[in-house]
């Protein structure tokens, strides 16, 4: 049943959550109360008719670069980072289950006793049946990030937009929590994000979105219900898209 309210601007979206988004106030790992809250928001947008794909990072558990900094081989450390994203995806699926939202975890690294492997037509089929698809293990390749995985999967899934969830209501010229003079942008082009080195997503992800004309929205999901507002075009957010 569709929820009441203004219609959705975007029907099929990919939500990119960083690992830190699952951490809450903790220094490490998964705070299930935060995951439960986020999954209620997902329930809200699926009830409103959205088809939802999710890519979750792994930075709350392990980051390849920090492993490499401690002397580990970078590729090995990156595989560990990808495994961390699988843990997060499983935790999120569990929370979605509790909300009564049907979901699938599809991993770019096959691990058949844990979850399904990523196969594009299978994922498309789940989305069109309104099941939430959680893409785990990033792109499956070291030296990439889950931001790039998010843009890649969004293009493969014909998503209309990628929503990158952050703790603030858009992109600023500097960290607004540290610099009171930071300028906030409503709208940016891909090349502005790259030229200003705005660090909202890595350059590879921005370039892939640009080359495929995929809009990126950066907004907060800190307040419950904001995700639905973003999809209705009612939230404060920054949109990155082709201009002119
Ligand atoms: N990673 C990778 N290839 C990918 C995606 C992720 O090697 O396609 C590894 C990389 O080590 C990264 C870690 O997984 O540091 C966690 O992902 P990310 O840092 O993107 O997570 P987030 O910052 O969103 O929590």
**Average confidence (pLDDT) per 10 residues, the chain, 244 residues:** 73 96 95 97 96 97 94 97 98 98 98 98 98 98 98 98 93 91 96 92 96 96 91 94 84
Q: Is residue 8 part of a domain?
A: no
3-state SS, residue 226:
helix
Residue in 81, 84, 147 to alter for ligand 1 test, most ligand atoms within 8 A of Cβ: 81
Could you tell me the residue range of the domain that residue 77 belongs to? 14-235
pLDDT at 167: 86
pLDDT at 2: 46
Distance between CA 83 and CA 49 in Å, rounded? 31
Cβ 209 under 6 angstroms from ligand 1? no
Sheet strands (E) in the chain: 12-17, 51-56, 103-107, 116-117, 132-136, 161-166, 171-172, 184-185, 187-188, 216-220, 237-240
Q: Is residue 240 part of a domain?
A: no
Q: Is residue 9 part of a domain?
A: no
Cβ 89 under 6 angstroms from ligand 1? no
Domain count of the chain?
1
Q: What is the pTM of this model?
A: 0.96
Look up the CATH number of the domain holding residue 172. 3.40.1160.10
pLDDT at 132: 98
Closest Cα to atom 22, ligand 1: which residue?
57
CA of 56 to the centre of ligand 1 (A): 9
Cβ 19 under 6 angstroms from ligand 1? yes
Distance between CA 204 and CA 155 in Å, rounded? 14
Strand partners, 72: none
Q: Is residue 95 part of a domain?
A: yes
Q: Is residue 131 part of a domain?
A: yes
Cβ 18 under 6 angstroms from ligand 1? yes
CA of 106 to the centre of ligand 1 (A): 16
Cβ 81 under 6 angstroms from ligand 1? yes
φ/ψ of residue 162, rounded to 5: -110, 130
Q: Is residue 3 part of a domain?
A: no
Cβ 149 under 6 angstroms from ligand 1? yes
Q: Is residue 7 part of a domain?
A: no
């Amino acid at each position: 049943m569709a929820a009441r309210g203004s219609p959705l601007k975007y029907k099929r979206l990919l939500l990119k959550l960083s690992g830190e988004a699952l951490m809450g106030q903790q220094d490490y790992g998964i705070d299930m109360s935060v995951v439960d809250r986020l999954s209620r928001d997902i329930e809200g947008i699926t009830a409103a008719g959205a088809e939802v794909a999710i890519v979750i990072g792994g930075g709350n558990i392990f980051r390849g670069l920090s492993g490499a900094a401690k002397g580990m081989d970078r590729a090995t450390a990156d595989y560990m980072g990808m495994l961390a994203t699988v843990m997060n995806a499983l935790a999120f699926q569990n929370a979605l289950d509790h909300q009564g939202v049907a979901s699938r975890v599809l991993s770019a690294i096959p691990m058949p006793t844990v979850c399904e492997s990523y196969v594009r037509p299978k994922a498309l089929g789940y989305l069109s049946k309104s099941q939430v698809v959680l893409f785990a293990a990033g792109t499956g390749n070291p030296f990439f990030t889950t931001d790039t995985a998010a843009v890649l999967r969004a293009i493969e899934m014909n998503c209309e937009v990628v929503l990158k969830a952050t703790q603030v209501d858009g992109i600023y010229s500097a960290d607004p929590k540290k610099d009171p003079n930071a300028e906030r942008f409503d709208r940016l082009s891909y090349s502005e994000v790259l030229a200003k080195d705005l660090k909202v997503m890595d350059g590879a992800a921005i370039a892939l979105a640009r080359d495929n004309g995929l809009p990126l929205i950066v907004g907060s999901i800190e307040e419950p219900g904001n995700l639905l507002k973003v999809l209705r075009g009612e939230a404060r957010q920054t949109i990155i898209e082709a201009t002119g």
